[in-house]
Structures are given as structure tokens and as C-alpha cells.
Amino acid sequence: MLKTHNAADVDRNLLGQSVTLAGWVDRRRDHGNLIFIDLRDVSGIIQLAINPEIKPDAHQIGSVLRNEFVIQVTGKVSLRPEGTQNPKLPTGDIEVIAEEIKILSKAKTPPFYINDEVEVDENIRLRYRYLDLRRQRMKRNIVTRHKVIRYMRGFLDSQGFVEVDTPILIKSTPEGARDYLVPSRIHPGKFYALPQSPQQMKQLLMVAGVEKYYQIAKCFRDEDTRADRQPEFTQLDIEMSFVEEEDVMNLVEELFSGIVASIRPDVDIVAPFTRLAYAEAMERFGSDKPDLRYGLEIKDVTDILSGTDFGIFKNVISAGGRIRAIVAPGCGNYSRRELEELQGIARSTGAGGVVTISLDKPGVSSDELVMEDVHSIAAKYLQIGQIKQLVEILGAVGGDLLLLAAGDDDVTSAALDKLRREMAHRLKLVNDNIFHFCFITDFPLFYRDVEHNRWDSMHHPFTSPREEDKPLLADNPGGAHGRHYDLVLNGYEIAGGSIRIHEADLQRTVFQLLAYTNEQIDERFGHMLEAFSYGAPPHGGIAAGIDRFVMLLCEEASIREVIPFPKNQNAQDLTFGAPDFVTDEQLEELHIIINDKEIT
Ligand code: ASP
């Protein structure tokens, strides 16, 4: 190799020895006579000292070096002179006195300084991703990702799982998103779809008798990009035969606790993982991916307010809706502007707003409350008795702020979920040193797609209904529960799976409920129904989003930070410039005519 050591391996044990290092010039400081170079490689940074009195040749090269030049240097490991140590660097008391320097590659001035502390516009970072990835933080993220995947492989291998890779050019396998399509040259007018997940293939592997499958799988979903979504992402995909919900959940609990313990020994894992039924999660937290690191639970206060003359509440209650509330401790002194901000947050979820009740006097218990201490647009319609009951049910005291949302459950859940997260953040209730995992179970099998006036799968169409709910498919499909479970971590959904349907008849019934005609079912999913007719084992599985999980392990706010070459928020790859136009010749071969009008 062109080097004998990595930068970070140069330590006191090597004092007096000659080493050869290679890497990038992170920083160069010219002290007229002495030149100092911070040399960066994959492991970290070490200081080089170049003294013209020792090696004039090396000094001459040292004086032309610029940031990001790639160099090879040979020199002696020495202690830095007293008073020049850098306690911020692991190698901060050591330097290498350069004797020979070779420039391996020159560099233009980079578009941004390669340093973790410098904020750079994300699109510029993505355009020059190979420079961005030179930063220590980004390197650490890539290595963490590697360690997570390595742990997954090792663990699943030890449990008897077999990694099987499945094709990328397939037929649509629905997960509720739009497909990415690939035109066929050989079959004019026909398209492959990229897998939204390997769902159908892993089920076919169960029919094939593989019994324990996993894959680090790429999935493709043509959705609008958000901070924690990408057009293509990576899943740990798992499927097992002869299992029930508990088997899959227990396996996942052991795997994820093991990963966190090995990669983030500094955090506390809440064990065993919490289990919450979907309905309870929605009732208490307004979300099927609740952050359980803090309380601020939602309470139903409809009964307390029934009979009120306050218009908003009255109308909602008479229309069959509910009033639900959370308490923001110590926020009773919120200014008009702060309350307005909370209104904005509630409205951004589609709610009409939130009714705020500010309790003035800090520390006053519900018994001692008087109406003068209560401020709210609803105050003149409320009696002190009602306020006291609200305060009691919410566990509030004087000095707190009550936030009440009125409407259908969908509306109040969305608003209070967002307000709950906002208040936890403002009140610094979110403890970054806790990993609180939670399985959400007992999901409804279907939800009503109001826009298209039909049922849609809560998970995907291959999820089995609960045994006892099968009769409901005939006359009350909305009442049926699926054998579906999600894994949530600190407010993020990081895995989802289910026990599957393995009987052709039941699978057809479910497709019919999803408003597919029999012809469509045969055409799109005939292969699955046929496979089930040749002896399918009961089976189930799960898939975990690796990007999102690694994001949480790395304490990053976006999955783009843990994906080596992500798309930007416009679904573009800025390093390669994808998507891009292709030649007329290519289009012709693919039998495609572009509608020029759509090109901007
Ligand atoms: N295929 C599902 C998904 O991608 C996971 C599963 O059901 O195993 O969400």
C-alpha cells in the first residue's frame, strides 16, 4: 500500500518511528518558516510539521500544497512541542515531522470547505456528494449504516435465515404508492415495474419452502419526497413460514435491541418493547406512530362540555364529533403571538383551529381555581365547574395551558398529535438518550378511501384478517382487523409487517373488496393465487426501513444524511443529473413518443 498507517493509528507507541501516510490536505497553515498540514484520511486527522531546516525539498512541496490535494508523506512520529497540543483531536499531542512529500493528485478549490461545522446548501452538497462524503460526520454515517447491515446479516444468519436476492424488473407489486415503470424494448408497449417491495416474491419463496428468508432490498415508490422518504430506499425484508404475530415481533425485538446496544451503548432502550393496539394509540396519542418518550396524552372531554353554548363545541357535539384535549404544562402565560402559532400548527393539519384555555396562576390546584384566572374565547360560555373538571381529567394545574380540538376523530387526532409533538419539543420533554420502541397491533384491515369511495388496505392486500373477523368480510369489512403490526421508534415508523393470507379463495375475496374485478385479479395477481393452490404454508413477515433507523441511530434529521447518494427533495440525483433526457434513437427503440407539451 501507499501508506503504512492510517492517520488515527499514529499514536505515542510509534514515537521516533518512521511512518508513511497518504490522504487529503484538510488544512494548511504557513507560519513563514514552519508549515503545518492537517492530513485527513478515512480514519481521521494527523498534523504534519514541515521544517525547511530539516528537509528543504519537503518544505518546497509543502509550500505549494492546497486544501484537498492528495499527498503521500513519510516522516518521523514526534510529540508536539509543549503548549501546541490540540485536545480536540485524538491525535492532538502527536505530529509527524515530514521528510518526504509526494503530490499524488492536485485539487481545484472545492466549492465548499470540507468541514463538519460549516453549513452548506444541501443542493450543493448533493451536486458534489463525493466531496460532501469526505466530511467526518458523513463518513461516520456511512460506517454506521454498514455496521447496522452487518449486524442484521449476522443475527439473521445465526437464526437460520437465508438471504435471497429478488429481481428489480418485475410486475407491479402494490404497497399503495405509484410504480416506477421501465419500458420494454422487446415487447412494444409493455412495461416492467420496479418493486415497491419484494412482497410477492418473498411470499412465493415461502410457497417454495425457503421458510426463513431475508434480504437487504431496494424498494422504489414514486411518491412526493419528504424528509424521511426517498423514491428509492432500502429495507430489511423478512419472511417466515409457520409463524404467528408474536414470533415475528419477538425476532424483531431481539434484533433491534441488539443493534441499538451494539451501536449506541450510550442510550437507554425501554424493554420489553411497548405494545399498543391501534385504537388505543390513536385515542391516547392521536397517531399510529406515537413518540412515547413523553406524556402529554390526549383525553376525551366531550362529556364535560356537553350542553355547552359555545358554538364550535356545540355544533361538533351535535354532529356526533368529540372534543379532545391535551395540557401544555407551564404555558398558561403564552402570549397572543404564541397562541396564534399554535393555531397555525393546528390549522396546518386541516383542523379549523384549537381552542386554548390559559390558566393564569401558577401552581393553583383545581379546587382553588376561580374564573378570573381563566382566559379563553370560550370562557364566557364555561362554568368554573367545567373548568375544574377539565383541569382534573387533564392532570393540569394553574399556570398550564389547555389545548382543545373539536371535530371528527381524524381531525382532532391529527391536530393534537402535531400539537403534542410541538409542545414536547418546546418544553424540552424529548430525551434523546432514550430509544422507546413500540409495536402497534390490531389495525383495521381496511380504511375507507373517501375520494374513490372504496376500501383500501391499511397495510397491503396480502395481510390476513384476524381469524375471528373473517365472517365480517361479507357484510362489515370496515369492522375487520388485520394481523398487521408496525414497529415504531421515538415517533417514527421503522418497520411494518403482517401474517399473510395463504389461501387463494380468501385472497380473491380481499382483492374483490378492494374493487378489483375478477379479470383484473387474474391478470395482475393470478400468479399468487395459482401459487397458493399448490400447498402454501401459513406465513408472515416484516420489513424495516434501514435508512430511517440509521438516521435515528446517527441522530440525523433527514434520511438523506445516511444515504450515500440520495435524491434531493425534487427526486433528482444532482451528482449524476438524473432523471435526464435520452436520445431520439433510444426513445424509438423503446417505442415511446414524448408529449412535447409537457416538457418545461
Ligand atoms: N412489504 C411490506 C412493506 O414494504 C412489509 C411486509 O409486509 O413485510 O411495507
Q: Per-residue pLDDT tens for 473-482?
A: 999 999 999 9
How many whole angstroms separate alpha carbon 55 and alpha carbon 38?
18
How far, rounded to the nearest angstrom, does the alpha carbon of residue 264 sit from its chain's CA centroid?
Answer: 17
- Measured from the CB, is residue 496 less than 6 Å from ligand 1? yes
Average pLDDT of the chain to the nearest whole number: 95
Dihedral sign computed on CA atoms, order 198, 204, 206, 212: negative
In the beta sheet, which residues pair with residue 40?
A: 24, 45
Which pLDDT belongs to residue 600? 65
User: Whose CA is closest to 374, among 385, 361, 363, 365?
Assistant: 361
pLDDT tens sequence for the chain (600 residues): 999 999 999 999 999 999 999 999 999 999 878 999 999 999 999 999 999 988 889 999 999 999 999 999 999 999 998 888 888 888 889 999 999 999 999 999 999 999 878 899 999 999 999 999 999 999 999 999 999 999 999 999 999 999 999 999 998 777 788 999 999 999 999 999 999 999 999 999 999 999 999 999 999 999 876 667 899 999 999 999 999 999 999 999 999 999 999 999 999 999 999 999 999 999 999 999 999 999 999 999 999 999 889 999 999 999 999 999 999 999 999 999 999 999 999 999 999 999 999 998 898 888 888 999 999 999 999 999 999 999 999 999 999 999 999 999 999 999 999 999 999 999 999 999 999 999 999 999 999 988 889 999 999 999 999 999 999 999 999 999 999 999 999 999 999 999 999 999 999 999 999 999 999 999 999 999 999 999 999 999 999 999 999 999 999 999 999 999 999 989 999 999 999 999 999 999 999 999 877 776
Q: Which residue blocks in 370-465 are alpha helix, DSSP H? A: 384-394, 409-426
- Measured from the CB, is residue 497 less than 6 Å from ligand 1? yes
CA of residue 282 to ligand 1 center, whole Å = 22
- Measured from the CB, is residue 199 less than 6 Å from ligand 1? yes
Are residues 469 and 513 in contact, defined by beta-carbon separation less than 8 angstroms? no
- Measured from the CB, is residue 542 less than 6 Å from ligand 1? yes
CA of residue 462 to ligand 1 center, whole Å = 9
User: Whose CA is closest to 300, among 421, 379, 409, 444?
Assistant: 409
- Measured from the CB, is residue 441 less than 6 Å from ligand 1? no
CA of residue 175 to ligand 1 center, whole Å = 8
CA of residue 215 to ligand 1 center, whole Å = 12
- Dihedral in degrees, nearest 10, Cα atoms 595, 598, 599, 600: 160
Q: Which residue blocks in 184-287 are alpha helix, DSSP H? A: 199-207, 245-263, 278-285
CA of residue 525 to ligand 1 center, whole Å = 17
Helix or strand or coil: residue 421? helix
- Measured from the CB, is residue 490 less than 6 Å from ligand 1? no
Which pLDDT belongs to residue 151? 98
Are residues 484 and 245 in contact, defined by beta-carbon separation less than 8 angstroms? no
Which strand (E) or helix (H) includes residue 50? strand 44-50
- Measured from the CB, is residue 195 less than 6 Å from ligand 1? no
Ligand 1: atom nearest CA of 196 is 4
C-alpha cell at 135: 466530511
Which strand (E) or helix (H) includes residue 448? strand 446-449
CA of residue 359 to ligand 1 center, whole Å = 46
Beta pairing, strands 268-269 & 434-435: parallel
Which pLDDT belongs to residue 227? 63
pTM: 0.94
User: Whose CA is closest to 552, among 470, 489, 459?
Assistant: 489
Given ligand 1 and candidates 175, 199, 233, 462, which is best to mutate, with the most ligand atoms within 8 Å of its CB?
199
Cα separation of the two ends of the chain: 51
How many whole angstroms separate alpha carbon 59 and alpha carbon 50?
6
Q: Could you tell me how many helices (H) and strands (E) the chain has, helices first?
A: 17, 24
Which strand (E) or helix (H) includes residue 181? strand 181-183
How many whole angstroms separate alpha carbon 172 and alpha carbon 192?
8
Q: What is the pLDDT of residues 143-176, one digit of tens each?
A: 999 999 999 999 999 999 999 999 999 987 777 8
Task: Supply the DSSP symbol for 578.
Answer: B
CA of residue 239 to ligand 1 center, whole Å = 10
| Residue nearest (by alpha carbon) to ligand 1 atom 1 | 199
